[in-house]
Amino acid sequence: MRPIEELVNHFKEKELALPIWFEGGAIKLIDQTKLPFEEEVCTITTISQLGEAISSMMIRGSGAIGICGAYGIFLAALNSKGSSKEVREAGELLKSTRPTAVNLMKTVDEMVAEAVGSGDELISRVEKKAVEILNRQLDFEYQLGAYGAELINDGDTVMTHCHSGAFGGAGYGGRAISVIRTAHEQGKNIHVYTCETRPYLQGARITALELKKFGIPHTLITDNMSGFCMSEGMIDKIVVGSDRVAANGDLANKVGTYMHALAAQAHNIPFYTATSSHTIDFNTRSGRDIEVEMRNATEVTTFKGIPTAPEGTHALYPSFDITPNGLITGIITEKGVISSPYETNLKKVIDKLTV
């Protein structure tokens, strides 16, 4: 059995909710567009298939698509019998699928950097790096969960937006759900308000599914109810995930995050993002420099092929928005909770990692 398959078996023994894994020479992933009513496993045998799965959001979530980068480059190495040229081409294809998600780009670059030599030597190097990245992602989830749980008090109500959980990571809790799940496992009596997250309804379909599975009490609300809930004193803290954190602490996350942060500031509610150091992008000075992925407007005017607006209606779908650093109380990472001034303190965390 290959080392990467041994690792997958080890993860399964931990009863993790794996969104993607390697088995029998192919990538297996759960089609997240079918959740919560079907858990359909798809088999991916080519890089073009994996790229389409990422673009169509069959697989999504910052941590999970980073893992796609690791598995994808390993698959390209196997399929090409160790051709560095074909591995590099596969990397460029994968990086083009979700332009806002820096975790995918960084992971692909890490993997491609190991694609030296040729044949079995290249395949072995790439596989070893993939195993390292997969272990690291899971460690991130446990560690940032522990730091974030320190911010959650017994009796708190916590709001989250979109899905930043097990199916969006290595299987424990991704980012925001790692914090919430760890607090729950510590015995804290918490209640979660999860926003449904139009237009893909990741909060309703996937976050609610995970909270139910983990036995965490929760209430589903529409995105436009968050201000009401805050004004009524129903929310104690907000924890969201992240797809990219700029060098100054500006946050790119699922569209709708910004308006929740504005409402939180108006009501003096702590607003946190849970992320990994891998998602901090020092090559991006501020949120203004982050490319926001614009998705097809038909995803707003339809849902699962069913029209939700009159034919010919013009629609807009920025997949992410930018939350300015001044609205963020703290950035939860696997190295601790970082507070303002972010431009200085984020760099201190990264410096610690490289010592």
> Considering 223, 243, 281, 321, which one is annotated as catalytic?
243
Tell me if residue 109 is catalytic: no
CA atoms within a 13 Å half-sphere pointing along the CA-CB vector of 277: 19
Q: What is the C-alpha separation between 254 and 162, in angstroms, rounded?
A: 7
Q: What is the C-alpha separation between 47 and 45, in angstroms, rounded?
A: 7
Q: What is the C-alpha separation between 210 and 177, in angstroms, rounded?
A: 9
- HEC assignment per residue over the chain: CCHHHHHHHHHHHCCCCCCEEEECCEEEEECCCCCCCCCCEEEECCHHHHHHHHHCCCCCCHHHHHHHHHHHHHHHHHHCCCCHHHHHHHHHHHHCCCCCCHHHHHHHHHHHHCCCCCHHHHHHHHHHHHHHHHHHHHHHHHHHHHHHHCCCCCCCEEEECCCCCHHHCCCCCCCHHHHHHHHHHCCCCCEEEEECCCCCCHHHHHHHHHHHHCCCCEEEECHHHHHHHHHCCCCCEEEECCCEEECCCCEEEECCHHHHHHHHHHCCCCEEEECCHHHEECCCCCHHHCCCCECCCHHHHEECCEECCCCCCCCCCECEEEECHHHCCEEEECCEEECCCHHHHHHHHHHHHHC
| Active site amino acids | 243
